[in-house]
Structures are given as C-alpha cells and as structure tokens.
Amino acid sequence: MTAEELKTKLKTLKETYNRLKEALAMNPEETGIVIDATIQRFEFTFELAWKTIKKFAEALGAGECNSGRNCIKLAYRLGWIEDEEKWLSLLEARNLTSHTYNQEIALDVYEMIRSQHTAFKNLILSLEKELSELQGER
C-alpha cells in the first residue's frame, strides 16, 4: 500500500470519526434514534479503525494482524494506542451491539462510546505521525 493509499484510508477514518462525534453531539433524550445512530456510527468507526491499523502495519512492515483483537494488540505494541484495555473494551462493546439488540446493553454501550470515543482521535493522531514520517522518507 502506498503512502497515498494510506492517506486516503486515514482520511476516511477521520471522516467516519467526525460523523460519530456528530451523533454524540445530539441529545439522546430528544429522540431514541440518537442512541441507535451513535452505536451504528461507532460500529463503522471501530471497524474502519482496526482495518486501518492493519493496512498501516502491513505498509510499514510492522507486523500482521487479521482481526480486531490482534490489530489492537499490535497497535498497542507499536505505541499507536495508549490503552490496550480501553480498546479491548471497545471491541467487546462493538461485538455486543453487532450480534444482538438489547435496550439495556445499547444504553451501556452508548455511555461507553461517550466516555471513550477520544481513543479514535488519539489513534488518528498516531497514524498521522506515522504517515508523516513515511512521507518524509521519500
């Protein structure tokens, strides 16, 4: 994967994260759909995040990972994420929401997303730094 392709992948992740933040800015008490929309946008963002980690790791020759869990662990070892446990809890939340719908679980996941969504921002900043360094090597 070229630096330009990585840049595009990272841009898509940023746009997806911005859409998640947009949903989080809405008042869930106004309409129940806000929680559902936030969770759906979280799922998109989470999936794109681990797949972006995978592409960056492959492009930089930093290792291989083929699942969300493996990519989180690799990103932690590479210093791209600071809190492995937070990311593993986000993975667990993502798995809960994608396989079943339960209002109580949805509310718990929504609160987790509200409190931990900046993990995506921090990953994006780390990957921007990696991309900058990669482009500087040209």
pTM of the model: 0.91
User: What is the model's pLDDT at position 102?
Assistant: 82
For 46-70, what is each residue's pLDDT tens digit?
Answer: 999 999 999 999 999 999 999 999 9
Task: Calculate the CA 34 to chain-centre distance.
Answer: 19
Average pLDDT over residues 1-16: 95
117 has catalytic annotation = no
Q: Which two tokens stand for residue 83?
A: 């809190």
Q: How far is CA 121 from CA 21, 27, 30, 96, 133, in A?
A: 10, 21, 27, 22, 19
Q: Of 54, 24, 42, which Cα lies nearest the Cα of 91?
A: 42
Lowest-pLDDT range, 66-75, 79-88, 93-102, 128-137? 93-102
Q: What value does the mean pLDDT take over residues 110-134?
A: 96
pLDDT score at 30: 76
- Active-site residue identified among 99, 114, 117, 138: 99
Q: What is residue 101's predicted lDDT score, i.e. its pLDDT?
A: 76
Please identify which of the residues 94, 114, 117, 138 carries the catalytic annotation: 94
pLDDT of residue 99: 67
Dist CA 125 CA 78 (whole Å): 14
Q: State the DSSP string of 92-109.
A: HHHHHHHH---HHHHHHH
- Enumerate domains of the chain plus CATH numbers: 3-25+32-136 (1.20.120.330)
99 among known catalytic residues: yes
